[in-house]
Amino acid sequence: MRTPPLRCASLLIAGLVLAGCASKTTSPAQYSGFLSSYEGLQSTRTASGATVLRWVDPGFEIARYSHVIYQPVRFHPEPHASERISQQTLQALLDYTNQRLSAAAFSRLQPAAVAAGPGTLAFRGAVTGVQTSTQGLKPYEVVPVALLMAGAMTAAGERDQNSELYLEAELIDTASGRPVLRVVRKGLGRALSNDKQALSLDDFKPVIDELTEDLLRFQ
């Protein structure tokens, strides 16, 4: 029995849409250039259950370190405010990120009294992207009529959207000057109702809180 042409086309479209659903990790095309290198990054599950791209020097043991130099997280590249995300929200996002991450870092290691030395790590990190993306089709929508309706909603900006936050960070052994850990991370914030809804700090707090939890639990 042959599958009707409309059914075939619908299944093809559905497959393409579902294949294009938001990835849980950052793609190489989205690397910002902030890190000293992106070689050796591998998909890894963190303590909180998040999937990240990470490289760790085989000889790195955090227990060997007692101090840390915390370089405040910054934007890279510098973002521009828009109707959907204000300059105030961007600054609040950066402030909250630094507040949470610095507190987590100093709860594990003492602030370094000197710029470099044995047993001292330097942390450097950046928020490399803040964006939204239209959510992929849900399984129950993969039928001919619903596909057409979903497409119309996408064009009209009425579909739910994901809020996405991209971060990159590395730890450097200050005695050798060499990185011992690199992380590229993509986090999903709160869902937005449409492509007109403005972003707020609250949309991204869960992402930063999850990152903080992983920093506290990293072995």
Residue 75 in any domain: the answer is yes
CA distances from 105 to 57, 190, 194, 199 (A): 19, 26, 36, 28
CA distance 156 to 134: 11
CA distances from 173 to 112, 121, 162, 213 (A): 12, 5, 36, 22
Residue 47 in any domain: the answer is yes
Q: Count structural domains, the chain.
A: 1
pLDDT at site 42: 97
Tell me which range, 94-103, 187-196, 198-207, is most confidently predicted by mean pLDDT. 94-103
Helix, strand, coil % (nearest 5) of the chain? Answer: 35, 25, 40
With a pLDDT cut of 90, the percent of the chain lying above it is 51
The single-letter code of the amino acid at 192 is: L
Residue 32 in any domain: the answer is yes
Residue 12 in any domain: the answer is no
Whether residue 79 is preceded by a cis peptide bond, meaning omega within 30 degrees of 0, is no
Residue 170 in any domain: the answer is yes
- Average of per-residue pLDDT values in the chain: 80
Judged by DSSP in three states, 91 sits in: helix
Residue 116 in any domain: the answer is yes
pTM over the 0.75 mark: yes
Segment 16-27, tens digit of pLDDT: 333 344 567 888
Segment 174-188, tens digit of pLDDT: 999 999 999 999 988
Residue 145 in any domain: the answer is no
pLDDT at site 191: 73
Residue 15 in any domain: the answer is no
CA distance 60 to 33: 23
What crossing angle do the helices spanning 5-19 and 144-156 adopt, rounded to 10°? 50
Asked if residue 192 lies in contact with residue 160, where contact means CB atoms within 8 angstroms, the answer is yes
Domain encompassing residue 90: 23-135+159-217
